[in-house]
Amino acid sequence: MTFVFLHGSGCTNNVWAHQVSFFNNSVALNFPGHPDGEVLCDVKSIAHWVLNTVEQEDLTDVVLVGHSLGSAVAMQAVLLASSESTTFDSSRLKALVLIGAGAKLKVMPQLLTSLATLIEECGAFPDYLLASNQQLQEPLRTEVNSAIVKNGAAVMLKDFTACDNFDVMREIGSIKLPVQLIVGDKDIMTPVKYSEYLLANLPSAQLEVIDAGTHMVFAEQYDKVNACIQRFVDGLA
């Protein structure tokens, strides 16, 4: 299997440090604009970019592993790959791992408004956007936070807006690939009920709820999450 890791809003591929060092044949992508290039403003565009990358790198037996925005991109990529409007060879994709996921990812309007105001006024990057990383161990916490600040508030706003516009509630039943859902039971941003909805509506899914895990559960409790992914992949083989 080839693992392709897809990060969440405002982040870079460094959030996956504990996964890339654990799994062989791992590729952790930086979405465009994170920090290099132009930011893509919707989930479908990022998903197209991911499929193009998989094709250009000639990756096969791909397990897409996405967190938050990345999980939305992973689902959208599978939906695009199986549509008649693409020439992508869908047999390249073997499975999905969705962490902190939702079929719909609405963002609080106040958050979008406050971020837009901050950008307009050229304000400093707000600490509250780093709050979900508090339980990460050092040095990863500082590395992740530094990358988010470097990407900037405008990138975060575009990512959050992409999440806010994402909705595949009517389409996910057509995702036939095996899916491993992972969520922390203390995840406020994408609560357990989101993953339970996916479990009920994806034809071939299983769910692991991690005790005391927050939205960044894969970076906090990486041993548990890595073991869960490994069991899932072993089951595919």
- Calculate mean pLDDT across residues 33-61: 95
Distance, in Å, from the CA atom of 64 to the CA atom of 175, rounded to the nearest integer, reads 13
| Residues 10 and 151 sit within 8 Å (Cβ to Cβ) | yes
CA 58 to chain centre: 22
pTM of the model: 0.95
Closest CA to 157 of 107, 88, 224: 107
Per-residue pLDDT band for 123 (boundaries 50, 70, 90) equals confident
Say whether pLDDT at 75 is over 90: yes
Provide the pLDDT for residue 124: 86
Domains annotated for the chain, with CATH where assigned, are 2-236 (3.40.50.1820)
Please name the amino acid found at residue 129. L
Considering only residues 226 and 108, tell me which one the structure prediction assigns the higher pLDDT: 226
pLDDT in tens, 168-213: 999 999 999 999 999 999 999 999 999 999 999 999 999 999 999 9
**pLDDT computed for residue 11 by the predictor:** 96
Structure confidence at residue 39 (pLDDT) = 94
Would you say how long the chain is, in residues? 237
Q: State whether the Cα torsion 86-161-133-210 is positive or negative.
A: negative
Cα-only R_g, the chain: 17
Instruction: Compute the distance between CA of residue 198 and CA of residue 97 in angstroms, rounded to an integer.
Output: 12
Residue 32, SS3 per DSSP: coil
Distance CA 192, CA 101 (A): 9
Residue 146 pLDDT = 95
Residue 125 has pLDDT above 90, yes or no: no
Q: What mean pLDDT is reported for the chain? A: 95
Tokens of residue 110, six digits: 């106040």
